[in-house]
Structure 1
Amino acid sequence: CIPLIASSIMSKKLAAGSDAILLDVTMGSGAFMKNLDEAVELARLMVSIGTAHGRKVAALITDMDTPLGHNIGNSLEVAESMAVLQGKGPADLTEVCLQLASNMLYLAGKGEMAACRAMAEQVIADGSAFEICCKMFAAQGGDTS
């Protein structure tokens, strides 16, 4: 089953044409992969598929035994994500976001991991991450109030 899952996910990622792919492989009671061994197997297989196709690929394994943040539901989760970008989000969700952002910056060749983490923290602290997200929402006709 894991090879089928990996090929399905990676076929979509590869078709998108990105040079770098960051995978968030969730595991635990709230995820499809119920244990660490399965999550590691899936992550390794997806990374190998991506690298075999000339992409830079990394995978993080995220524990989903408990929900991230405090909210459930699309609009509430968007509001909570916006709070993260303003430096006001729940610690667990903020940490996952910082890990994802710093890993993507690293894959994009923006520096060593520690420098990439500092960059991710800085754009939250200076408000530019929130500002850019608001511009993206506005460009798609979204309400930024």
Structure 2
Amino acid sequence: MKKLNIIVLFAAVMLTGCSNSGAFLSANQTIVNLNEGNYSIAATNVTGESESAYVFGLSYSTGFTATSFALARVAGSGQMYADALENLWLNYESENGSAANQRLALANVRYDTDILNLIVYSKVRLTVRADIIEFE
């Protein structure tokens, strides 16, 4: 009976954990034509960052997405792209004032990841970088 309890406990530990697969990539796109001259560049090279850390896992990046498989998340919210974009807008507002009621859009959006993989610890840092344009 003791052996069965150990096997069940081992299976439960091995089959639980967390997974994060990153950005929501949609086939729907809005195309903005910037050759009309009806816009100005509000800010360039604005960045936003987020981090997550995991134990007993592995993280990797495939370009647009950063994926983590781990037993447990020990830091960060797990919503790295949403957090990074929120941080980007906070950074923009700290330099340029409120973005509310303005016609702003992100252009030239780039995603960078920095991943540290150790046997028992994995840490992912996501940076979103973009230019912000304002339509007149």
TM-score, scaled to structure 2 = 0.25
Structure with max Cα Rg: 2
Higher share of residues assigned strand:
2
Give TM-score, length-normalised by structure 1.
Answer: 0.24
With a CA cutoff of 8 Å and minimum separation of 6, indicate the structure with the bigger relative contact order. 2
